[in-house]
């Protein structure tokens, strides 16, 4: 896999008197016409007055997970930031999207604050001879850690971002970000892990992400280990959800590009899903919470890593009228865990 620099979350020095908009934002889009809600992520980077980035929108219809990734560009206009879609990078729609339809978002700017954080904005689609313009609203918040970002994971899978790096914002947002090296992907062969140089690199815009990184000055050979039995794998702190129903309907999806991820699922040690491939269409399972138990633990085990490690997926939990979306990641050394606690 080609090694690209992970630059999308660089917090460049803010231009004089301009609010810093570089960063990662997550939230939801409301479609006023279709009465539909979409999950939405937006990553922006500004350099020398030019703002570019990527947008990721997802929704589920008829138990099928749909997504789209677009390049975007943005401009400041008076007291608002106008973000406009550019080319489509990837999607899994059943038919080709109309080329003339794209989204324009209007984000209010507060010049009394140094950095753009939580915001409510409006958006609309462009009108064509075939389609009317569709309006909507958005609720977004700044995300200071990209570790759980579906957009970042997708850009890694698309080879746009290097898989071995992630960005973490420092307390001083105008300072250079910290580059944290992730665990080396589990494989049975010897791989080379490149070390980033400490010298800063100038970038005109996010399109430079498509250019290969400079050859590293040093490389360290690392021999990885084989897969462990699932009971011997690490289990990080679980994601915890309070539920009120005695039964939950679980729907498992690949959270983007279907690349052959296979999982098994255990509930309190009992195997309820075995060696199942994650697809765009849901794999569904209803589990029952024992009346005598205060909680149940769901363990998600990666049986394969697919063609693009690690094993990543989306779990949709239906708890009566309530619904939760949980993104998970596992590999051949570490399981993913979720705990459902019964509300009292």
CB neighbourhood size of 254 (10 A): 24
Q: Are residues 109 and 205 located together in one domain of the fold?
A: yes
Closest CA to 187 of 217, 143, 223: 223
For residue 40, being part of any structural domain is answered with yes
Q: Are residues 254 and 199 located together in one domain of the fold?
A: no
User: With contact defined as beta carbons under 8 Å apart, do 240 and 339 qualify?
Assistant: yes
Last residue of a domain, one of 200, 219, 238: 219
For residue 224, being part of any structural domain is answered with no
CB contact burial 13-40 (16+ within 10 A = b; e otherwise): ebeeeebbbbbbbbbebbbeeeeeebbb
Q: pTM of the predicted model, to two decimals?
A: 0.69
Instruction: For residue 246, give the CATH number of its domain.
Output: 2.60.40
- Quote the distance between the C-alpha of residue 211 and its chain's center: 22
Look up the domain containing 273 and give its range.
230-342
For residue 81, being part of any structural domain is answered with yes
pLDDT in tens, 304-329: 988 878 898 999 999 999 999 999 99
pLDDT in tens, 4-35: 333 444 444 444 457 899 999 999 999 988 88
Q: Are residues 145 and 80 located together in one domain of the fold?
A: yes
More confident residue, 36 or 220: 36
Domain count, the chain: 2
Q: Are residues 130 and 69 located together in one domain of the fold?
A: yes
For residue 255, being part of any structural domain is answered with yes
Q: Are residues 146 and 79 located together in one domain of the fold?
A: yes
3-class SS at 27?
strand
Least confident among 54-63, 79-88, 108-117, 295-304? 108-117
Q: Are residues 151 and 268 located together in one domain of the fold?
A: no
* d(C-alpha 126, C-alpha 100), whole Å: 7
Q: Are residues 152 and 276 located together in one domain of the fold?
A: no
* d(C-alpha 274, C-alpha 259), whole Å: 18
Helix residue ranges, H only, the chain: 150-157
Q: Are residues 204 and 246 located together in one domain of the fold?
A: no
| Token duo for residue 317 | 């939990």
Question: How far are the Cα atoms of 149, 185, 223, 229, 278 from residue 226, in angstroms, in the given order?
Answer: 27, 11, 10, 10, 22
pLDDT in tens, 41-50: 999 999 888 9
pLDDT in tens, 166-216: 444 444 444 333 333 334 343 333 333 334 443 333 333 333 333 333 333
Q: Are residues 255 and 214 located together in one domain of the fold?
A: no
């Amino acid at each position: 896999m080609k090694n690209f620099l992970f630059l999308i979350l660089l917090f460049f020095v803010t231009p004089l008197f301009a609010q810093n908009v570089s960063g990662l934002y997550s939230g939801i889009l409301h479609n006023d016409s279709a009465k539909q809600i979409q999950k939405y992520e937006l990553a922006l980077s500004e350099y020398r007055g030019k703002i570019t980035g990527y947008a990721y929108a997802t929704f589920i219809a008829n138990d099928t997970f749909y997504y789209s990734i677009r390049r975007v560009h943005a401009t400041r206009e008076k007291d608002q930031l106008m973000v406009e879609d550019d080319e489509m990078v990837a999607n899994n729609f059943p038919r080709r999207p109309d080329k003339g339809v794209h989204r324009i978002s209007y984000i209010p700017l507060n010049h009394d604050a140094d950095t753009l954080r939580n915001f409510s904005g409006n958006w609309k689609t462009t009108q064509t001879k075939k389609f009317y313009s569709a309006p909507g609203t958005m609720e977004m918040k700044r995300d200071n850690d990209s570790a759980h970002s579906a957009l970042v994971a997708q850009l890694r899978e698309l080879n746009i971002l290097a898989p071995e790096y992630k960005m973490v914002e420092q307390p001083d947002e105008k300072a250079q970000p910290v580059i944290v090296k992730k665990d080396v992907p589990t494989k049975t062969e010897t791989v080379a892990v490149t070390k980033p140089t400490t010298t800063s690199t100038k970038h005109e815009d996010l399109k430079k992400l498509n250019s290969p990184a400079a050859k590293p000055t040093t490389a360290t050979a690392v021999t990885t280990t084989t897969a462990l039995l699932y009971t011997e794998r690490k289990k990080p702190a679980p994601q915890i959800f309070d539920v009120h129903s005695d039964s939950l309907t679980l729907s498992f999806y690949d959270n983007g590009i279907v690349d052959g991820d296979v999982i098994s699922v255990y509930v309190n040690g009992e195997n309820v899903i075995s060696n199942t491939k994650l697809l765009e269409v849901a794999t569904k399972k209803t589990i029952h919470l024992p009346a005598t138990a205060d909680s149940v633990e769901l363990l998600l085990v990666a049986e394969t890593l697919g063609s693009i490690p690690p094993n990543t997926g989306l779990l949709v939990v239906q708890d009566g009228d309530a619904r939760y979306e949980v993104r998970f990641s596992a590999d051949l050394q570490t399981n993913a865990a979720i705990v459902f606690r019964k509300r009292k």
